[in-house]
């Protein structure tokens, strides 16, 4: 019985090689023995590879389209899914469909790891800017071997297994012929170089753990959670690659007086009953020191006063936010006899006492 390879891969008979390749890749990932352990997956994977081996080859596809599977002996007899267990999908794709980039070259230089440091600062530091020194543990290039990991330059030689390429080619026999697989050389770890005698300081790693003091410049107007990037202050790169970056995340500690809202500063200030009634001038704290605030007569509790330009400076810009002062009128808990008499007299003469009656009449 002729197998419908197009149906197995879910493509039309007019499908291009790229469409066939894409369909195979999607299904092979789903049914590969290393991924799918369910019943029937091995048989499905066998059919997929059988179909791809035929439709991926122009000559075989032409014969299949003319004569089907029976006339040409296209079948999967003796197929064992484990034959492909150690092959990556790209290796199988390249074997069936050809192409693929060359992998027989040494790996490229790698950048070092980035580091993240969380720094707590005061609100004043965020407002006026500051320079803080932080202590960073990190991996740095070994000075003894200059990052090579070898005791001396003569101890770095081409790997005898991969001859300096960093890769080795393995061949295995499968029902579809011989498959060749390119993999990282285990002896040199894909470096292409082999160290005969390791550096005694870094034990062949090329890097050592060190602690560095680094100055961090905090800009004016910094906001909570802002991340500063310090280029090149991360960990050392490999194979001559650049160092990573250091990211410093600024966390602003809660202030005992001010509450920040964007670039505005909010605070509550208590005033007495008489100050609210008669009016007064008080001093309030600001980031720049104490400033005078006029309280008009008859001020009610929770009245909000705005002091323009007394808030946080705008980050990377000109100007400042505002400072908002909410006054809280405090009622005395204890009164002297004289104070009570005065308040009673005040109550008798209070022209606004009818307000209660107006509201609740």
Per-residue pLDDT of the chain (361 residues; tens, 9 = 90+): 578 899 999 999 888 887 888 888 888 888 877 677 788 888 888 888 888 888 888 778 887 877 676 544 555 444 444 444 445 555 555 556 654 443 434 456 778 899 999 999 999 999 999 999 999 999 999 999 888 888 898 888 888 888 888 888 877 666 555 666 778 788 787 778 888 888 899 888 888 899 999 999 999 999 999 999 999 999 998 767 889 999 999 999 999 999 999 999 999 999 998 899 999 999 999 999 999 999 999 999 999 999 999 999 999 778 999 999 999 999 888 889 998 888 888 878 766 555 445 544 5
pTM, to two decimals: 0.59
The DSSP secondary structure of 178-230, one letter per residue, reads EEEEEEE-TTTTTSSEEESSB-TTTTTSSEEEEEEEEEEEEPTTPPTT-EEEE
Alpha helices in the chain (DSSP H): 5-9, 17-31, 41-55, 58-67, 89-97, 123-128, 273-278, 337-349, 354-360
In tens, the pLDDT along 204-243 reads 888 889 999 999 999 999 999 999 999 999 999 876 788 9
The tokens for 135 are 């202590």
Distances (CA, A) of 31 to 49, 91, 97, 172: 11, 16, 19, 21
CB-count burial class (<10 Å; 0-12, 13-18, 19+) for 296: exposed
3-state secondary structure of 150: strand
Task: Look at the alpha carbons of 16, 92, 193, 232 in this order and tell me if their dihedral is positive or negative.
Answer: positive
Structural domains in the chain plus CATH codes: 5-97 (1.10.287.110), 114-151+202-253 (2.60.260.20), 153-196 (2.10.230.10), 259-347 (2.60.260.20)
CB-count burial class (<10 Å; 0-12, 13-18, 19+) for 242: middle
The tokens for 253 are 């500690």
Question: Could you give the CA distance from residue 324 to residue 312 in angstroms, rounded to a whole number?
Answer: 12
Among 56, 28, 57, CA closest to 44: 28
In tens, the pLDDT along 19-56 reads 888 888 888 888 877 677 788 888 888 888 888 888 88
3-state secondary structure of 23: helix
What lies within 8 Å, CB to CB, of 246 at 6+ separation is 114, 115, 116, 117, 136, 214, 229, 230, 233, 234
- Which pLDDT score, from 0 to 100, does residue 177 have? 58
């Amino acid at each position: 019985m002729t197998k419908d390879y197009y149906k197995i891969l879910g493509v039309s008979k007019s499908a291009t090689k790229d469409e066939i390749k894409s369909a195979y890749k999607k299904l092979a990932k789903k049914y590969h023995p290393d991924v799918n352990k369910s019943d029937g997956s091995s048989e499905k994977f066998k059919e997929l590879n059988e179909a791809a081996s035929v439709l991926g080859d122009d000559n075989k596809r032409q014969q299949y389209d003319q004569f089907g599977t029976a006339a040409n002996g296209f079948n999967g007899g003796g197929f064992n899914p484990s034959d492909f267990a150690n092959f990556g999908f790209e290796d199988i794709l390249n074997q069936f469909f050809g192409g693929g980039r060359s992998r027989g070259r040494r790996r490229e230089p790698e950048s070092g790891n980035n580091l993240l440091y969380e720094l707590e600062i005061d609100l004043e530091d965020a407002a006026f800017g500051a320079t803080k020194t932080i202590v960073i543990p990190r991996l740095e290039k070994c000075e003894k071997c200059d990052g090579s990991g070898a005791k001396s330059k003569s101890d770095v030689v081409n790997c005898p297994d991969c001859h300096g390429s960093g890769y080795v080619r393995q061949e295995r026999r499968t029902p579809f012929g011989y498959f060749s697989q390119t993999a990282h050389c285990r002896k040199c770890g894909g470096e292409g170089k082999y160290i005969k005698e390791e550096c005694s300081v870094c034990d062949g790693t090329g890097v050592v753990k060190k602690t560095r003091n680094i100055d961090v410049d905090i800009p004016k107007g910094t906001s909570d959670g802002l991340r500063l990037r310090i280029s090149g202050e991360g960990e050392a790169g490999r194979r001559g690659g650049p160092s990573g970056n250091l990211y410093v995340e600024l966390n602003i500690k809660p202030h005992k007086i001010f509450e920040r809202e964007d670039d505005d500063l909010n605070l509550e200030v208590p005033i007495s009953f008489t100050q609210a009634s008669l009016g007064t001038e008080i001093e309030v704290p600001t980031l720049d020191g104490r400033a005078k605030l006029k309280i008009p007569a008859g001020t009610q509790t929770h009245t909000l006063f705005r002091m323009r330009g007394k808030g946080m400076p705008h980050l990377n810009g000109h100007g400042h936010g505002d400072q908002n002062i909410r006054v809280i009128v405090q009622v005395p808990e204890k009164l002297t006899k004289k104070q009570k008499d005065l308040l009673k007299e005040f109550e008798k003469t209070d022209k606004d006492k009818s307000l209660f009656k107006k509201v609740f009449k």
